[in-house]
Structure 1
Amino acid sequence: MDNTKFSLLSFTGKMKVLHLSWMAFFITFVVWFNFAPLLQMVKTTLGLSTEQIKTLLILNVALTIPARVVVGMLTDKYGPRLVYSTLLAVCSIPCFMFAFADSFIQAAIARFLLGFIGAGFVVGIRLVSEWFPHNELGTAEGIYGGWGNFGSAAAAFTLPTLALMFGGEEGWRYAVGLTGLMSLVFAVIFYKNVTDTPKGATYFKPSQVTAMEVTSKGDFFFLLIMKIPMYAALALLAWKLSPSGINMITDVMVNTVYVTLIALYAYEVSQVWKVNKKVFKEEVPEMHQYKFKQVAVLNVLYFATFGSELAVISMLPLFFSETFELTPVMAGMVASAYAFMNLMSRPGGGWISDRFGRKPTLLILTAGLAVGYFLMGQVGSDWPLWLAVATAMGCSFFVQAGEGAVFATVPLIKRRMTGQIAGMTGAYGNVGAVVYLTVLSFVSYQTFFLVIAGTAVIGFATLIFMEEPNGKIAEVNDDGSVTLIDVSH
């Protein structure tokens, strides 16, 4: 831990690591969301249909679900410095591919591969947790997440202007290419300026990274059950691309995806067994135990918070333009108020967690989330526009503060597995987005908001079973000695 003063204006020690981390995350979001603001230009240049554009938007988020789990494991094993730098460098390649795409197929492959950069978030969660003490952790993780998340809004504001500056129908290519270059350059800056831990601190690694460790028989089965929704979400995405959905891929291809997902799940079950079979033979010493239900609750809450944020950001401009008959530009500006809240709300949620406890904060914010979406479900053309915008911003505060509070808790469960836990919880956010956007394709806007409110109520009910992190986490050093890490006041 680095116990120097928490000062946002400082660029030394832990604050330097925090600033470089949110900048890395910011760049991943600019690259990940560099398509939506340039959508019309891309559509015209490549001669794409509306269905093909929708397909590209789906493909953009598909790979992020498994990527977050995989990147979480790699982070725990190889350390955040190497993993984040590699991710930024490698993902610049599909970014350049998209900039040079001449056909729908080329664009589709590039957007699918770019989903991997959405996993960058997980790396910084582990890095920040290594540098900040528990009583500042929520605030630091909130700043990391909130300011980094703002990359999507920054892309929306700057990329169309950049494309126009470069000029011509091909202007968008230069704007996209520039984001890839930014990612490549920052990979080097990050690698040269960051260390995994403060000087003299140990970076604890799990004994196995092929599957998450659990510490009881019940948790073994619980983990396998919690893995299923991630595979189900990928199957749902495949179904959306099938002849029954937008007819991009054939039935044979869809069935191949289904079979592959079943085979992957079976393989994952075998890995979970390999890593955890010892819990069926002997009891894990109490000091090394943790409760997997803590992870499961956070998964459900992130499904409702980040899942709804991703879904709502993509449909809100359309909702405002159709409900209040606004021009696309005006609707985009009004809807951006929702994303703008990230700058303060997410750090706010983390800060409140640091001050008033993890569980009470999550209970209050989840209740606010349910009420917020319930009110959004009441918005109609008879409402004054200012009131609809104020309702969206109020709802957005609870959504993003809730995300901040979730990730104020994640690093306090089991230090050496923070990457894996963050990966699973982060993946659940994307599962939520897939589920909510699928629901939206069948129901009205009002029903869509009420469905999210319903899942927030379910999240609130699961929260009752969560236990406030307290005391210390025990981690074993290479020489067999034990280090105790504070997780509560």
Structure 2
Amino acid sequence: MSAQALNFFSFSGRMKILHTTWIAFFISFVVWFSHAPLMLVIADSLGMSKAEIKTILILNVALTIPARIIIGILVDKFGPKRTYSILLALGSLPTFMFAFANSFEQLALARFLSGFVGAGFVIGIRMVGEWFPAKQVGIAEGIYGGWGNFGSSAAAMTLPTLALVFGGPDGWRYAIATTGLIALVYSLIYFFSVSDTPKGSTYFKPKKAGAMEVTSIRDLFFYILMTIPLYATLTLLTWKLSPAGVSLLSDFSALLIYIGIWLLFIYNVYKIVHVNEDHLAQPIDDIHKYKFKQVAILDLAYLITFGSELAIVSMLPIFFYETFHESQGITLVQAGLSASGFAFMNLIARPGGGWISDKFGRKLSLSIFIIGLTFGYYVMSLITPDWPIYAVIILTMCCSFFVQAGEGAVFAMVPLIKRRMTGQIAGMVGAYGNVGAVLFLTVLSFVSPSIFFLVIASGALIVLVAVQFIEEPKGHMVEVQEDGSVEMIELD
């Protein structure tokens, strides 16, 4: 595939794939975050407490942790076309459930199930990686992720107004239901508009499904170790919902869920060993090897970038309203519009991060972006009600640039590790983003927003050290065709 210049105004060939896929991701994010700008209205309508509001915010990102792992496996096995179409269609169902819920318990269940649609991001990473060469994959993945991520900003900017247009106490319901209808319609459009690979290209699939292949015994244990935070985060979430937290679950129900989570972990370890035991029993040629530390470091980088973005997007409208309502008279709609600036930067920051990575190197770029977001979150911790709103908006957008450029830098590297497992690698990296979101939102439930921002900044410094151990992709990665022939895929 030639690395000809990108023509953003083209809607044919690989650019058609890019445009239709980022639109699918955009819609999935509108659906996933349709509640955030309307949360105070919803809470008032159903008489919810602040603790219940925070519970809804956490539940929204909870299921996405295992979902991204599952979707990564499915997309590698069945291809992006079918997987994305089915996910959008199924994702519309809990959206309708949420729109017409009449109690906190119904809202909580619907929001929990809605988290599955957030896994759609993983699908497009594999799709774009199939259609674009290494020299362009950073900016292409950045456009996909950035323009798709803008869906959360679009939801913040449009849904409060749409709810007012519908009018009445149920206006928010019809606004959210509209997003579900759009997802359902687009699932059909996407299915009939794309193909998994360019004509004549091979869609490489893992030899075994259920876990990633690794290429050394050391990496096998490293892989198992890196799965533990996923289950620990689900355990933390269960604790938060138990009587020790907001009492959504009984002690007995929480105990059953704890047992289920760690039984699932044991099964996951079994699958990891089963998938890897045969080929690790024999010497592996160097050309077929990859280092799992690349995946692990990207996991941590995405935890601090996308994890913090998810948390910020969820809490920022309420933070703006509660901080500036009394001191400067900001309204709920104005708070939503002001907060949308954080996600608005996705349009340029994430593609920019991918392009900078393509141009100047993956490791250096990611390091610079993490330094920038560390400083940005530190300054955000200093915000007081007396700050001019325009200054706060500029600050959040500057911080957001480094956050989302960092996300672009992470996924500029993901497709360059092992092609046939791109979906699973993207799934694990993406899941760590949700681990970060649950972790940070849980912290927020115990501390002030100022401390919350400082916690993220401190975590970013730790991740910055880890990034210094990542290796720049270079040379070629090797994949084997079904007929046994070897294909060399350029990495630089």
TM-score of the pair, normalised by structure 2: 0.95
Q: Which residue of 2 aligns with 1:418?
A: 422
Q: Which residue of 1 aligns with 2:263?
A: 263
Q: Which residue of 2 aligns with 1:24?
A: 24
How many angstroms does 1:363 deviate by?
1.3
Q: Which residue of 1 aligns with 2:206?
A: 206
Contact 1:2 1:13 in 2 (8 A): no
Contact 2:233 2:439 in 1 (8 A): yes
Any residues of structure 2 matched to 1:321-360 within 5 Å, and which?
321-324=321-324, 325-326=327-328, 327-329=330-332, 330-360=334-364
The amino acid across from 2:93 in the alignment is: I
Q: Does 1:379 align with 2:383?
A: yes
Q: Which residue of 1 aligns with 2:231?
A: 231
Contact 1:216 1:283 in 2 (8 A): no
Q: Which residue of 2 aligns with 1:392?
A: 396
Q: What SS does structure 2 have at the residue aligned with 1:53? A: helix
Q: Which residue of 1 aligns with 2:291?
A: 291
How many angstroms does 1:381 deviate by?
4.4
Report the RMSD for the aligned CA atoms in angstroms: 1.6
How many angstroms does 1:2 deviate by?
6.0
How many angstroms does 1:44 deviate by?
4.2
Contact 1:317 1:328 in 2 (8 A): no
Q: Which residue of 2 aligns with 1:368?
A: 372
Q: Distance in 2 between matches of 1:44 and 1:372?
A: 33
Q: What SS does structure 2 have at the residue aligned with 1:253? A: helix
Deviation digits for residues 339-360 of structure 1 (CA, Å, limit 9, x no counterpart): 1111110110001011111111
* 321-330 or 170-179, larger mean C-alpha shift: 321-330
Q: Judging changes above 3 Å, is the alpha-carbon distance between structure 1 residues 468 and 419 closer, same or farther for their aligned structure 2 residues?
A: same
How many angstroms does 1:323 deviate by?
4.2
* 64-73 or 381-390, larger mean C-alpha shift: 381-390
Q: Judging changes above 3 Å, is the alpha-carbon distance between structure 1 residues 429 and 206 closer, same or farther for their aligned structure 2 residues?
A: same
Deviation digits for residues 84-112 of structure 1 (CA, Å, limit 9, x no counterpart): 00101111122222223233333222211
Q: Which residue of 2 aligns with 1:106?
A: 106
Q: Judging changes above 3 Å, is the alpha-carbon distance between structure 1 residues 44 and 452 closer, same or farther for their aligned structure 2 residues?
A: closer
How many angstroms does 1:280 deviate by?
4.6
* 474-483 or 310-319, larger mean C-alpha shift: 310-319
Contact 2:157 2:337 in 1 (8 A): no
Q: What SS does structure 2 have at the residue aligned with 1:394? A: helix
How many angstroms does 1:380 deviate by?
3.4
Q: Distance in 1 between matches of 2:321 and 2:28?
A: 29
Deviation digits for residues 369-388 of structure 1 (CA, Å, limit 9, x no counterpart): 22222222233345444433
Q: Does 1:436 align with 2:443?
A: no
* 116-125 or 148-157, larger mean C-alpha shift: 148-157
Any residues of structure 2 matched to 1:8-407 within 5 Å, and which?
8-278=8-278, 280-324=280-324, 325-326=327-328, 327-329=330-332, 330-381=334-385, 383-407=387-411
The amino acid across from 2:431 in the alignment is: A
Contact 2:323 2:384 in 1 (8 A): yes
How many angstroms does 1:301 deviate by?
0.3
The amino acid across from 1:125 in the alignment is: I
Q: Does 1:453 align with 2:461?
A: no
* 383-392 or 167-176, larger mean C-alpha shift: 383-392
How many angstroms does 1:169 deviate by?
1.7
Contact 2:303 2:433 in 1 (8 A): yes
Deviation digits for residues 223-277 of structure 1 (CA, Å, limit 9, x no counterpart): 0010011111111111111111111111111111111111000000100010111
Q: Distance in 2 between matches of 1:280 and 1:17?
A: 37
For these two proteins, the number of residue pairs brought into alignment is 488
Q: Distance in 2 between matches of 1:445 and 1:109?
A: 27
Q: Does 1:464 align with 2:464?
A: no
How many angstroms does 1:285 deviate by?
1.1
Q: Judging changes above 3 Å, is the alpha-carbon distance between structure 1 residues 378 and 173 closer, same or farther for their aligned structure 2 residues?
A: closer
How many angstroms does 1:208 deviate by?
1.2
Q: Judging changes above 3 Å, is the alpha-carbon distance between structure 1 residues 29 and 363 closer, same or farther for their aligned structure 2 residues?
A: same
Q: Distance in 1 between matches of 2:196 and 2:87?
A: 16
Return structure 1 stretches of 4+ with deviation > 6 angstroms: none
Q: Judging changes above 3 Å, is the alpha-carbon distance between structure 1 residues 318 and 442 closer, same or farther for their aligned structure 2 residues?
A: same
**Which 5+ residue runs of structure 2 have no aligned equivalent?**
none
The amino acid across from 2:364 in the alignment is: P
Q: Distance in 2 between matches of 1:152 and 1:275?
A: 37
TM-score of the pair, normalised by structure 1: 0.96
Deviation digits for residues 272-329 of structure 1 (CA, Å, limit 9, x no counterpart): 0101113552221111100000000000000000111111222223433444434243
Q: Distance in 2 between matches of 1:106 and 1:31?
A: 17
How many angstroms does 1:337 deviate by?
1.6
Q: Judging changes above 3 Å, is the alpha-carbon distance between structure 1 residues 379 and 45 closer, same or farther for their aligned structure 2 residues?
A: closer
The amino acid across from 1:421 in the alignment is: I
Percent identity of paired positions between Structure 1 and Structure 2: 58
Deviation digits for residues 164-220 of structure 1 (CA, Å, limit 9, x no counterpart): 222222222222222111111111110101000000000000111201110001100
